[in-house]
């Protein structure tokens, strides 16, 4: 059903008082998916394969990611355009992260005694990749929605200002 | 809007304590009724029964002619404003006002229109993005009213909405409620223990005491022709002076004073010759004259008026007089007063004695 001009106008006007919850919720979901990803990685115990500097960096990055994503969720909730760019950057990095830990771990094998084992089984690999992709998509979607809404709200506010002038 | 009819309503609690006795009232469409009385007189209980928050023990409640005695509160189409505002602290003013409609899953655009319209009426448009904690008490109470307005209920119920406000805000918010009523032309039931609120807001006042309705009438009727000693003492500030007097000939004889009666007053008291009655005199019905000699105990200048407190000679009979203008009585001075308007009450029943009745 198409929206009338008045409905469209009211929908825009509502943004003055209603927070951008869809964007904020997508950011929260991205954090949740990232948590599932790193819990899956950190519970892995395959000899000493994971005991490298990259794990330390991963831990620090996860902390930074959660903080930045949470702050962004609060920012986009209040229609702050700058947080769009942070979310887009965080989203893209989530895709890149697939190639930093999951892919090398999936490709790596270890020989324990006489048995050769795969460091990351396909099921865990799939889970990690899905979580990172979904997390990245959520952040990018959150950023894009916020960007569009910010522009709509700015235009609406300008119209109101002109009407009041 | 709506008419409301309360017929023979009683409230009896499980422990057999009866809070309301045979309450009868017909509220006209668009009328503002104020239930007034001291704490514990049953006014809030009555309001809660109307709202559906308390069961009605006996009697019937009709809304627009439909019996809603057993109808649950949520289906009564009434909105209640509480003393404590009952706002959600984590929500903005907009969200608070929209909340009830959101729960009903109304169209967000319709909700938006209603909230903005209510905010405009209440002067809250610039506050919509704030949280309740950022507002003053008066503004919070307006939000509570706004939350009721957006629902467009048939009846508004107010349970001592101004009690949490300081005196200045109370006056301002009271005027806003009156303007709101004029604008909405809504049927309203308003509970207060403050007679000033009752007198200034009401189309009609229901004065209650100990669960019983003492008088129903316009503010002027309650002030000018109180039904009994309770109403006479409750309505009016400072309260009415009461004296035990004896009707002798053409005058009233009290402890230490005599007051003459007019021909009309004599006719009213024709059946009380030689009997004791209660004489009521409002402080503003005293003027400087010669009937009662009073030893002044206090003199309070209020600007336009002066409150003079004293006792009749050395009898201990107290007198409070509200005299026009600025007076300078000293403690111990003797002041002489005349009475311009008298109220008579039967000493046994405490009911008013009126001519022709």
**CA-nearest residue of chain A to B93?**
A17
Rg, chain A, Cα only:
21
Taking only the tens place, the pLDDT of each residue in B300-329 is 999 999 999 999 877 788 999 999 999 999
Q: Which residue has the tokens 């129903």?
A: B216
Q: How far apart are CA B292 and CA B179, in angstroms?
A: 44
pLDDT (0 to 100) of residue B83: 85
CA distance B300 to B238: 12
Asked if the C-beta of B85 comes within 8 angstroms of chain A's C-beta atoms, the answer is: no
Is B92's Cβ below 8 Å from some Cβ in A?
A: yes
pTM (predicted TM-score): 0.79
Enter the tokens of residue B44. Answer: 């809030």
Question: Burial level of B107, CB count in 10 A (0-12/13-18/19+)?
Answer: exposed
Distance from CA of A18 to the nearest CA of B (A): 8
Angstroms from B76 CA to nearest CA on chain A: 30
pLDDT tens-digit profile, chain A (165 residues): 567 888 888 989 999 999 999 999 999 999 999 999 999 988 877 767 777 888 889 999 999 999 999 999 999 999 999 999 999 999 999 999 999 999 999 998 888 788 888 888 899 999 999 999 999 999 999 999 999 999 999 999 999 888 877
Whether the CB-CB separation of B160 and B187 falls below 8 Å is answered with no
Helices (H), A100-121: 102-107
Question: Which tokens in the block code for residue A130?
Answer: 């899905």
> Is the Cβ–Cβ distance between B88 and B95 less than 8 Å?
yes
Dihedral over alpha carbons A139, A145, A147, A151 (to 10 degrees): -170
Predicted confidence at residue B316, as pLDDT, reads 81
Q: What is the pLDDT of residue B1?
A: 63
- Say how far apart CA B210 and CA B121 lie, in whole Å: 38
Ranges of each domain in chain A:
21-164
- Pick among A8, A18, A156 to test the B interface (most B CBs inside 10 A): A18
Taking the domain B241-346, which CATH number applies? 2.40.50.140
Give residue limits of the domains in chain B: 4-234, 241-346
Contact in structure between A136 and A94 (CB atoms under 8 Å): yes
Interface contact flag, A10 B112, Cβ < 8 Å: yes
Among B109, B118, B126, B150, most A C-beta atoms within 10 A, so best to mutate, is B109
Q: How many whole angstroms from its chain centre is CA B246?
A: 32
Q: How far, in Å, are A28, A77, A139, A141, A160 from residue A147 at the CA level? A: 17, 12, 12, 10, 20
* Chain A contact for B123 (CB, 8 A cutoff): no
pLDDT of residue B357: 44
- Nearest CB to A10: which of B94, B95, B109? B109
Q: Cβ of B108 and A7 within 8 Å?
A: no
SS3 B9: strand
B102 touches chain A (CB under 8 A): no
Query: In sequence order, which residues have a C-beta less than 8 Å from that of residue B339 and are 6 or more positions away?
Result: B259, B281, B285, B286, B289, B291, B292
Q: Please tell me the CATH superfamily of domain B4-234, with its number.
A: P-loop containing nucleotide triphosphate hydrolases (3.40.50.300)
CA distances from B53 to B71, B121, B152, B213, B283 (A): 11, 28, 19, 21, 41
Contacts of A9 in chain B (CB under 8 A): none
Nearest chain B residue to A15 by CA distance is: B112
pLDDT tens-place string over residues B137-188:
888 988 998 999 898 899 999 999 888 888 888 888 888 888 889 888 899 9
A39 inside 8 A of chain B by CB: no
Residue the block writes with tokens 């409230």? B11
Q: How far apart are CA A24 and CA A18, in angstroms?
A: 12
Q: Residue range B122-131: average pLDDT? A: 92
**Do strands B204-209 and B32-36 pair parallel, antiparallel, or not at all (unpaired)?**
parallel
Output the DSSP codes for B260-286: E--HHHHHHTGGGTTSEEEEEE-GGGE
Q: Which run of H or of E encompasses B12?
A: strand B4-12
Determine the Cα–Cα distance for residues B122 and B142; give it in Å rounded to an integer. 6
* Residue A2, pLDDT score: 64
A16: contact with B, CB 8 A cutoff: yes
- A74 token code pair: 């609060």
- Give the C-alpha separation, A93 to A113, whole Å: 37
Q: Do B109 and A11 touch (CB under 8 A)?
A: yes
pLDDT tens figures, B208-267: 999 999 999 999 999 999 999 999 999 998 999 999 999 998 899 998 888 999 999 999
């Amino acid at each position: 059903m198409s929206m009338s001009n008045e409905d469209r106008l009211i929908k825009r006007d509502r943004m003055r008082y209603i927070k951008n919850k869809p964007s904020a919720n997508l950011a929260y979901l991205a954090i949740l998916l990232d948590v599932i990803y790193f819990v899956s990685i950190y519970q892995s115990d395959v000899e000493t394969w994971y005991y490298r500097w990259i794990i330390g960096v991963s831990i620090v990055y996860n902390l930074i990611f959660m903080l930045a994503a949470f702050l962004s969720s609060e920012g986009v909730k209040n229609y702050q355009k700058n947080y769009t760019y942070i979310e887009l950057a965080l989203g893209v990095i989530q895709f890149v992260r697939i190639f930093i830990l999951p892919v090398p771990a999936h490709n790596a094998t270890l020989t324990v005694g006489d048995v050769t084992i795969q460091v990351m089984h396909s099921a865990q690999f799939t889970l990690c990749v899905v979580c990172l992709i979904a997390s990245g998509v959520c952040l990018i979607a959150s950023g894009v929605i916020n960007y569009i809404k910010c522009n709509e709200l700015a235009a609406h506010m300008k119209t109101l200002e002109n009407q009041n002038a | 809007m709506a008419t409301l009819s309360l017929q023979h309503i009683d409230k009896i609690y499980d422990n057999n304590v009866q809070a309301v006795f045979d309450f009868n009232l017909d509220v006209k469409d668009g009328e503002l009724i104020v239930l007034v009385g001291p704490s514990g007189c049953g006014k809030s209980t009555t309001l809660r029964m109307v709202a559906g928050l308390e069961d009605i023990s006996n009697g019937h409640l009709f809304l627009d002619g439909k019996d809603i005695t057993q109808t649950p509160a949520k289906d009564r189409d009434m909105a209640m404003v509480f003393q404590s505002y009952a706002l959600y602290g984590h929500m903005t003013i907009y969200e608070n006002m929209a909340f009830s409609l959101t729960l009903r899953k109304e169209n967000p655009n319709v909700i938006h229109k209603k909230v903005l319209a209510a905010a405009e009426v209440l002067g809250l448009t610039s506050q919509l993005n704030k949280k309740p904690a950022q507002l003053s008490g008066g503004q919070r109470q307006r939000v509570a009213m706004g939350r009721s307005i957006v629902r467009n209920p048939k009846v508004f119920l107010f349970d001592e909405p101004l009690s949490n406000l300081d005196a200045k805000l109370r006056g301002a918010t009271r005027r806003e409620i009156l303007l709101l009523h004029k604008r909405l032309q809504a049927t309203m039931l308003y509970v207060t223990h403050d007679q000033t609120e009752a007198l200034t807001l009401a189309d009609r006042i229901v004065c209650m005491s100990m669960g019983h309705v003492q008088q129903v009438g316009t503010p002027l009727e309650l002030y000018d022709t109180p039904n009994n000693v309770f109403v006479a003492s409750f309505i009016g500030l400072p309260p009415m002076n009461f004296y035990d007097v004896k009707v002798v000939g053409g005058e009233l004889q009290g402890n230490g004073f005599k007051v003459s009666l007019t021909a009309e007053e004599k006719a009213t008291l024709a059946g009380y010759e030689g009997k004791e009655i209660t004489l009521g005199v409002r402080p503003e019905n005293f003027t400087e004259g010669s009937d009662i000699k009073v030893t002044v105990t206090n003199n309070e200048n209020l600007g336009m008026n002066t409150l003079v407190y004293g006792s009749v000679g050395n009898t201990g009979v107290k007198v409070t007089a509200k005299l026009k203008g600025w007076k300078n009585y000293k403690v111990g001075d003797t002041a002489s007063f005349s009475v311009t308007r008298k109220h008579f009450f039967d000493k046994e029943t405490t009911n008013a004695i009126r001519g022709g009745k």
